[in-house]
Each structure stands twice: as structure tokens, then as C-alpha cells.
Structure 1
Amino acid sequence: MAKNPLLLVPNQITIARILAIIPIAALVMAGDPTLRLIALILFILAAVSDWLDGYLARAWDQYSPLGRMLDPIADKLLVGILIAVLAWDGSFSALDMIPACAILFREFFIPGLREFLGNTQVVLPVSKLAKWKTTTQLVALTIVLIEPIAPGLGLLSDGLLWLAGALTLWTGWQYLAASWPHLSGEQL
């Protein structure tokens, strides 16, 4: 008898990551430095849980369709909602909004592309660079969160945000290029 996927520890960690987004956003939006520090700690725990749930799923052979669906959604929600909150509270400059919007664009576009291609039995596997892209996004957003608490990190946070934006666009381009024969009708 198959185990309920909601009882698998990796899935519970992923669900906790999704649920953590609400208090993280609320704490950042409160505008209090102490609450932002708590949001930062929760965000770091959520970011680390992205690695932990995958590690445990592999180590304990606890794969499930639910986990395969929820994990990338959790990542995109964590990044996307935090970008929206940081834009709302003024943590991003006008120039920072360029990589932030690039990240949001790709994070909406590629899942839509995957969903469309799912009907054609074409699979776009997650590349190693895409995993680095997610890590870079999470690190960049961590530094943006720290910046008001520990001033002087502006150049580092800007650089990491632009690097995350560039990696995000590059991996999006790779997925689009790989799927183009199926989108253009020129299937190989």
C-alpha cells in the first residue's frame, strides 16, 4: 500500500516552505527592523529547506508526484512573493526592478511553457544551471533583506540580484531554445 504523500517528510518540509511565505511577507511589510530580522531568519530557513527536502527525498527514497509538483511551486512562490513585497516596501531601486522583473517573467513563463509542452509529451528537465539560478536568487534576496539591518551591503545585493536576473534569463532562454522545435512545428 502506497504511503500518503502528505505524510512524507520531504513533502511536509515543502508545504512548510509554502506556508512560511505568509509570515515572511507580513513581517517584512510591518516595516520594523526587529520583525524584518525575524523574517530574514524564516526566509533563510525556508531557503535551506529547498535543499533539505530534495536531499531527504533522495536519501529516504521518498519521491512522490505531489512532491515533484509542489517543490518548484514553493520556490517560485517564495521568490515571487518576496520580490513583490520588497518592491512594495522600497527595498529595490528603480534599476533593481529590471532583474526583479526579469526573474518574475521567467518564473511565470517557463512553467507555462512546461505545462503547454506536457500535452505534447515533451519534458524539459531541470538543468544544473537552473538549480544554481534558484540558489543565486535566494542568496540575492537574503542580502536584500539584510541590507536595511546591516547597511553597506548595497553593492553586494545589487550585484547578486543582477547575477540572479542574468542566470534566470539565460536558463529561460535555454528552455525556450530546447522547446522551440515543438513550438514552431519543426519537431525533430
Structure 2
Amino acid sequence: MLTSLPNLLTLSRIAVIPPVVGLFYVPEAWAAWTICGLFAAACITDYFDGYLARVWEQESVIGKFLDPIADKLLVAAVLIMLVGFGRLTGVSVLAAVVILLREVLVSGLREYLAGLNVGVPVTRLAKWKTTIQMLAIGFLIVGDYGPPEIPSVLIGTLGLWVAALLTFVTGWDYTRVGLRHMMAAPPRRPPHATKTTARSA
């Protein structure tokens, strides 16, 4: 059911994107910290929507569909804004590119494997990747508006590179699973099934 609490938490991650994007255009410290707070709250919902769905036995097809999409939309929007507003520059932009390309790749693989009724479980390494990625993005959002004794930009940039490395590793793991099923020979159809189909046509 779309209006269940787990699904509403998932939808909240999509709903928060417009204000997050809009606040990037406000060159004030309070705006940066507000973005960081909204982003952190959205990351927390990423844990609780799945947890509550399992505990309350409210897992649904639409929830499984929306959950990864909400995550990818939020991360993609923030990374694009960080690059656009110069908080992620130079060669470090490549880390964001790797992360975004991996998300597109994994989405395509998941869709393909779902058609084969093959599930792809989230690995522990992928969870670490997500955690480091979210923390790194939070530091980059605050950027130069953070406390002067904390090098927020440096911490965020290094964290994003670590996340990009883990992204590459986990993306390859998912790709191997997908390729294994793609290369598998399709099951042969019984001869009589073809004849029956031809007659009915």
C-alpha cells in the first residue's frame, strides 16, 4: 500500500529533492547546513523504511521498486549540484562520475535479472560503500561553511574517492552475476510446444 509508513518514508526522499536543490542557490551558511540536515534525515529514512517494512510485514512490490530509485535520485541530484556549484572540482569530479555510472549499471542489471526472477542481495561491502558515500556527501555539502578547524572539503573529497573505489568493486560484483546469467544457455522448449503454438496462430 502506497500510504503505509515505510512507503511514505521512501517517498519523502524523493520529496526532499526540490528543496535541497533550491537551497544550493542560497549562498549562506544556514542554507548549507539545512541541506545537510535534510540529506541526513533522508539517509536515515533509507534504513528505517526497509526495517519497518520487514518488522511490520508491510513489504510491497511498489516499495521494492521505489526504494532504490529514491536513493539514486537523491544522490544523483546532490552530486550534480555539488559539481555545478564548485564544491566538487577538478579530477575529483571523476569520483562522482564513477558513482553515477555504477548506479545506472546496477539499475539496468537489477531490472534484467528481475525479469529472470533472480534477486541480487545487497552485500556488506555495498552497505559500507553507501555509508561512506553519504558521509562524504554530507561533508561536501557543508564545505567551507563548516567549522574552520575541520577540513570538511578535504574529508568529503577523500571519502568520496573511497566510496568511488568501493563503488567500482561492488559494481563489478553485480556485473559478474549479470553476465553469468546472460551467458547461460536458454532452456530448450519442447518440440510439441512449438507445434501447438504454430497451430493456434
Shorter-chain TM-score above 0.5 = yes
| Structure 2 portions without partners, runs of 5+ | 187-201
In the alignment, which residue of structure 1 is the partner of 2:153?
A: 154
Structure 1 counterpart of 2:2, one-letter code = L
Residues 186, 169 of structure 1: alpha-carbon distance in 2 compared, 3 angstrom cutoff: farther
Which one has the largest radius of gyration? 2
1:79/1:137 contact within 8 Å kept: no
Compute the RMSD of aligned alpha carbons.
Answer: 1.6
CA distance in 2, matches of 1:183, 1:30: 48
Identity %: 38
CA distance in 1, matches of 2:62, 2:12: 14
CA distance in 2, matches of 1:55, 1:123: 19
Question: Taking structure 1 as the reference length, what is the TM-score of the superposition?
Answer: 0.90
CA distance in 1, matches of 2:83, 2:141: 11
CA distance in 1, matches of 2:73, 2:51: 20
- SS of 1:121's partner is coil
Match of 2:130 among 122, 131, 134: 134
CA distance in 1, matches of 2:32, 2:153: 17
- SS of 1:29's partner is coil
In the alignment, which residue of structure 2 is the partner of 1:12?
A: 8
CA shift, 1:182, in A, is 2.1
Question: Taking structure 2 as the reference length, what is the TM-score of the superposition?
Answer: 0.85
2:144/2:153 contact within 8 Å kept: no
Match of 2:79 among 80, 83, 91: 83
CA distance in 1, matches of 2:158, 2:65: 31
1:14/1:74 contact within 8 Å kept: yes
In the alignment, which residue of structure 1 is the partner of 2:190?
A: none
In the alignment, which residue of structure 2 is the partner of 1:181?
A: 180
CA distance in 1, matches of 2:93, 2:154: 15
